[in-house]
Structure 1
């Protein structure tokens, strides 16, 4: 199993000049922000054209660990390079190379058909490369730092600060998912009769079995896909070509191969009247039966 790096962590040379904590807090070029009470839960700031920093009380070191693993063991997968990771006053700081370009959702509707095809082809190539990365442990299901699965259906019902896992077989993965639903029923018996939990426990395995554990981004929606025009080349129809980089790896892990499309098509990400909901199946493998079962347990859990 790959060994996570120690925190604080500083990447190997060469590095650009890195900002101090004071400079990060003072930065006004805010790319994204969420708050929790009076504190910054997550903030993303562009310090300059080379450095972006993600920090806050809800930023987790496992996202930084994922970026280090990708750089060292899957360098062909385009992701931000982590320069430095540290914790100070309950805030975690991830100082990264700033990915050029724009979020795909900000430009998708304005692209020509050949440009969209070019991006879909690039995404297909990236996803195929991800599925070829060998998991360090056979039948391992967990995060890229070797811990639990950082996905909403695996957030511990009895302690939302924790995640279930890791698991060392697909059957244990499914049992963990169903067991979390059972824990919800046991906690809030008025929500649903126990017969449904018993049904899941008996039959869920029939659908969610026989799949490989594969490297999974875990939140592959348009806002986490950065694109930048490749000035040195054109697409196959003579139009603009783009380079593609995946960002926001906090939900990454080793999941069953059906998981990526399930998360990508999650209610908050997909709008079925939009073209993107159809084009996604061109670069992600689709498992219709598994998708239906996961969507059902997602609705039942209401998380």
Structure 2
């Protein structure tokens, strides 16, 4: 394969598309044994995060070979191509034994992620003290934050103006403060978009964990909150095996989520 820095638009346009989101603006294509993720919003932070996780764990994260921006400001990550299929595609075809085995593997990887030593001084945000992402509001960026209280205030600041004028925000603030005081959440390394579409499998073996663009240091309940996405399978029954449950935090965040300004 030619040097990534010399890849041309025709090279990329002729490459097989592995994934392209419905919203457009970015693609994942395959060139030989490499995958190229490129387009709007593809950042150095994601490339650095992948290298960081590979360095500190045995999680099967694609090796990153290069990152660069083109003249339009679009980012390009050149990494290993991971063979297999997404767990989202395979899940309904797996028997209970295979599901149990995959869930156990993912739990081990999740525990490894949590054991990465926190930075000192601790903060909430991306690797190398970059900003925190929250994908439910497009891709909102804030921080890095020095405390969970500061992080919560950022979340509250994004509530719709008309809701800001009601009693909802004071109630949420009071509940978030009480929750933080009561539980003293640890700040741990978090994927923040844990979903079967981001897990690659071959048979009953996990061979890849993808899409680290919103990962970073977050309160310990954040992974569970962000992973609780409705699905039409029994996936959520296995989620409790993989990630520690934080139901109180999830329910409170659901109230916050319903009040966010999404535009």
* Counterparts in 2 of 1:140 and 1:87: CA distance versus 1, 3 Å: same
In the alignment, is the contact (CA less than 8 A) between 2:133 and 2:139 conserved in 1? no
Asked if the contact 1:103/1:225 (under 8 Å) is kept, the reply is yes
Shift of 1:247: 0.2
Partner of 1:282: 241
| Secondary structure of 1:95 counterpart | strand
Give the CA deviation at 1:110: 0.7
2:243 & 2:15 partners in 1: Cα distance?
37
Following TM superposition, by how much is the alpha carbon of 1:139 offset from its aligned partner in structure 2, in angstroms? 3.2
Aligned-partner Cα distance in 2 for 1:42–1:255: 26
CA-based RMSD of the aligned residues comes to 2.2
Superposition deviation, residue 203 in structure 1 = 2.8
With over 3 angstroms needed to count, the CA separation of the structure-2 counterparts of 1:196 and 1:51, relative to structure 1, is same
Q: Following the alignment from structure 1 to structure 2, what is the Cα–Cα distance between the partners of residues 57 and 287?
A: 33
For 1:133, the equivalent position in structure 2 comes to 116
Pick the aligned partner of 2:205 from 239, 242, 246. 242
Q: CA deviation at 1:193?
A: 3.7
Alpha-carbon separation, structure 2, partners of 1:295 and 1:172: 19
Note if 1:32 corresponds to 2:19: yes
Which structure is richer in relative contact order (CA contacts within 8 A, separation 6 or more)? 2
Q: Does 1:264 align with 2:227?
A: yes
Normalising by structure 1, report the TM-score.
0.78
Alignment of 1:55-74 (within 5 A): 55-72=38-55, 74=56
**Distance of aligned partners of 1:47 and 1:291 in 2 relative to their CA distance in 1, 3 Å threshold:** same
Q: Tell me the alpha carbon deviations over residues 240-293 of structure 1, each in whole angstroms, 9 at most, x when there is no partner.
A: x41332100011010111111111113xxx22x520011111110111100100
Residues 1:194 and 2:180 aligned together: no
1:47 corresponds to 2:34: no
Q: CA deviation at 1:18?
A: 4.4
Structure 1: gaps (5+ residues)? 1-15, 230-240
Who is 1:226 aligned against? 200
Structure index of larger Rg: 1
More helix by proportion, 1 or 2? 2
Query: What TM-score results when the alignment is normalised by the length of structure 2?
Result: 0.89
CA contact (8 A) 1:54 1:94 kept: yes
Give the length in aligned residue pairs: 257
The change in CA–CA distance for 1:175 and 1:102 in structure 2 (over 3 A counts) is same
Q: Give the distance between the partners of 2:187 and 2:22, measured in 1 at CA.
A: 34
- Give the Cα separation in 1 of the matches to 2:148 and 2:92: 39
- 3-state secondary structure, aligned to 2:141: coil
